[in-house]
Amino acid sequence: MRQKNPEKMAETIKVLTEEKRLFPPPQEFKESAHIKGMEEYTALYKESVEDPEGFWDRMAGIVDWTKKWDKVFECDFEKPEIKWFLGGRLNAAYNCIDRHLKGFRRNKAALIWESDEGEVKTYTYQQLSREVNRFANVLKKKGATKGDRITIYLSMIPELVIAALACARIGAIHNVVFGGFSSASLRERISDCASNLVITADEGVRGGKSVPLKRNTDEAIADYPCVENVIVVKRTGAGVSMTEGRDTWWHEEISEPDIEEISEPEEMDSEDPLFILYTSGSTGKPKGVLHTTGGYLVYTALSFKWIFDYKDEDIFFCTADIGWITGHSYVIYGPLACGATCLIFEGTPTYPEPDRFWEIVDKHRVNILYTAPTAIRALMRYGDEWVKKHSLASLRLLGTVGEPINPKAWMWYHEVVGKGRLPIVDTWWQTETGGILITPLPGATTLKPGSAGRPFFGVKPLVLTKEGKEAGSNEGGYLVIEDSWPGILRGTYGDPEKKRMKELYFSHFPGLFFTGDGARIDGDGDYWLMGRIDDVLNVSGHRLGTAEIESALASHLDVSEAAVVGYPHEVKGEGIYAFVVLREGMEVPGGFEKTLGGQVKKVISPIARPDKIQFTTGLPKTRSGKIMRRILRKIAGGRTEDLGDVSTLADPSVVDELVKGRK
């Protein structure tokens, strides 16, 4: 296991800059906000951590329960055992749709979809209800029942939300696979959770290009006969092959007789699984992070409402793909549980021009925009003119997520997009945390560019030194979480004994949840996230394990060994640098970098393709055979003058070759 990484920690601390600018919440914003100031935050936070039972008992009423819980929580991180709202019963899809049909929200837009080409489709809650009910009936007809795993491999189209909620309605567990993943990655995720039904489309569309989703699905399940049904959305009308008896069209299925019949939502236990979402770790294959129903829904609904200060008349635009946790928690469950209007966008920020986001904001009068630092940095490079062409007057709040935001990008977002008047919520969280854990509250927090603010209610983070002592102010260390909160993962798929879960998250510092991130707390108590301290890369906000990329490279017959590290990248945050050793005595064939890039694309996804590949005859290893990544990271990042002690290497001469051959 190469997880805890004090060296990487020290490297990160060194690059910290002292940021002194302060942005208090605008008075006007403060007055109308749900949480109206630091005093209110402090008092409520205190209550939430001193009396979590009372606090969450009160908060859980944000969702509707068919049976009230008997006990608020039962959690023990040592085991680990995590249960919230024990004995409570509810249905997530009912909470996201049906309950809004009783009042004025019935005719309110639930989803506004903008296609890659700029076409708009709107679903009111009533209309969404019909679609979800019909598709739930389709799933039932196919034999799907409570507890089944259903894979959804789609791009950002309304059918993705409809399919996920239809699963939730019948109690099936959805497994959404990002449409940018390859057929091999899809197969891995289908077979790991033994899913027998896949929902896909003929093609996906992004930035004027199409993605062969159906063809990828066919490849993924060609030698995996357990998939009995494939339901295909017609998105582009491209010719695809349909396997008789297995593949059917979405539009035909939902037009069958009887499909309109209202089917009651399945009553679920609070701890029944809601979904699995695969994510990368520092070792091995991606794991299926498991979230359950009650706690997850309470946590995403409450955090959505308060962090984005959501009001019924707002239009909320989260640019994340539903293939990642952000889309699960803050496109589907949090917003819809609150009866919000959510804008979903199929395309990319730069197509057809780099003002697409701003065009969408003006066209739909978006009020809250939630996006990623990588998008901000990319758009910043095209210049302010693209933003200034649009009024953006409807915006009242900005948010970011996915990676640390550098103060320069924060300032640009604040000044150019926010005209110097909008608060920014820099929200820190993870697939495993289910919802946002560290964040400013827009009506309370005095913002500092680059800081994610303070813990959300009920969340008790700690920053520890490698000896496990609490780090001093500004010292920096490992970010861990002390007690449970309702949105935390309940396990990983295929690990009922929770052995893997324990090892991954609760063993580094026994009894504490290990995040894999470094952080420091400044003198005021504000948190500064410093990136991963394990072998997980964050490339454009996408989480990738170095081990996965190494294994994809090594799956090429001519590769004997590969080591992958990250290096600072102006737009992506982190770029991928691969050191590759070929078979003994082999010359590097012409164009081989491209071949290997293609290999990674095929095995994982285009997002995992290395930015740089350096061929070498050896890697820096200790005498016990451990690769010294510290040295590779320094070479990749161009810090070759200070490689540190290389005397413990089995063959120190390899370092010269690596430095000379640096890309």
Q: Which of 69, 84, 317, 428 binds ligand WT7 (CB under 6 A)?
A: 428
Q: Which of 195, 326, 445, 484 binds ligand WT7 (CB under 6 A)?
A: 326
Which of the 8 DSSP states describes residue 351? Answer: S
616 binds ligand WT7 (CB under 6 A): no
DSSP 492-557: ETT-TT-HHHIIIIITTTTTSEEEEEEEEE-TTS-EEEEEESSSEEEETTEEEEHHHHHHHHHTST
| Angle made by CA atoms 343, 347, 350, in degrees to the nearest 5 | 115
Residues 313, 218: Cα–Cα separation, whole Å: 43
516 binds ligand WT7 (CB under 6 A): yes
Here's the x/- map for ligand WT7, 276-315, by CB under 6 A: it reads as: ---x------------------------------------
Query: Residue 112 is inside which H or E element, if any?
Result: strand 109-114
566 binds ligand WT7 (CB under 6 A): no
From residue 592, give the alpha-carbon distance in Å to each of 315, 580, 588. 48, 11, 7
Q: Which two tokens stand for residue 71?
A: 């006990």
**What is the spatial order of strands in the sheet that 573-582 belongs to?**
559-569, 573-582, 612-616
185 binds ligand WT7 (CB under 6 A): no
426 binds ligand WT7 (CB under 6 A): yes
Closest CB 29 distance from ligand WT7, rounded Å: 21
Q: Which is nearer to ligand WT7, 307 or 338 (CB)?
A: 307
463 binds ligand WT7 (CB under 6 A): no
Q: Which of 403, 534, 535, 550 binds ligand WT7 (CB under 6 A)?
A: 403
535 binds ligand WT7 (CB under 6 A): no
Q: Which of 198, 397, 401, 604 binds ligand WT7 (CB under 6 A)?
A: 401
526 binds ligand WT7 (CB under 6 A): no
Which of the 8 DSSP states describes residue 405? Answer: P
404 binds ligand WT7 (CB under 6 A): yes
Closest CB 482 distance from ligand WT7, rounded Å: 17
Q: Is 210 exposed, middle or buried (0-12, 13-18, 19+ CB in 10 A)?
A: middle
Q: Which residues pair with 124 in a beta bridge?
A: 109
Q: Which of 217, 431, 605, 614 binds ligand WT7 (CB under 6 A)?
A: 431
Q: Which of 134, 377, 532, 633 binds ligand WT7 (CB under 6 A)?
A: 532
Closest CB 620 distance from ligand WT7, rounded Å: 26
What phi and psi, each to the nearest 5 degrees, are found at residue 530? Answer: -115, 15
Whether residue 188 contacts residue 196, with contact meaning beta carbons closer than 8 Å, is answered with no
Pick the piece of the chain touching ligand WT7 (CB under 6 A) from 253-261, 338-346, 397-405, 590-598.
Answer: 397-405
CA–chain centroid gap for 112, Å, is 21
Q: Which of 293, 427, 484, 546 binds ligand WT7 (CB under 6 A)?
A: 427
Q: Which of 23, 310, 358, 429 binds ligand WT7 (CB under 6 A)?
A: 429
Q: Which is nearer to ligand WT7, 133 or 319 (CB)?
A: 319
Q: Which is nearer to ligand WT7, 169 or 448 (CB)?
A: 448
Whether residue 4 contacts residue 466, with contact meaning beta carbons closer than 8 Å, is answered with yes
Give the chain's end-to-end CA distance (angstroms, integer).
Answer: 29
Closest CB 579 distance from ligand WT7, rounded Å: 23
Closest CB 324 distance from ligand WT7, rounded Å: 6
Whether residue 216 contacts residue 250, with contact meaning beta carbons closer than 8 Å, is answered with no
377 binds ligand WT7 (CB under 6 A): no
Q: Which is nearer to ligand WT7, 202 or 426 (CB)?
A: 426
For tokens 């996906």, the residue is: 204
Query: Residue 374 is inside which H or E element, if any?
Result: helix 373-380
Q: Which is nearer to ligand WT7, 405 or 654 (CB)?
A: 405
Q: Which is nearer to ligand WT7, 281 or 458 (CB)?
A: 281
What phi and psi, each to the nearest 5 degrees, are found at residue 22? Answer: -125, 140
504 binds ligand WT7 (CB under 6 A): no
Closest CB 529 distance from ligand WT7, rounded Å: 4
Q: Which is nearer to ligand WT7, 404 or 610 (CB)?
A: 404
Query: Among residues 390, 323, 331, 401, which one has the least CA distance to residue 355?
Result: 390
Interface residues with ligand WT7 (CB under 6 A)? Answer: 279, 324-326, 401-404, 426-431, 452, 515-517, 529, 531-532, 538, 543
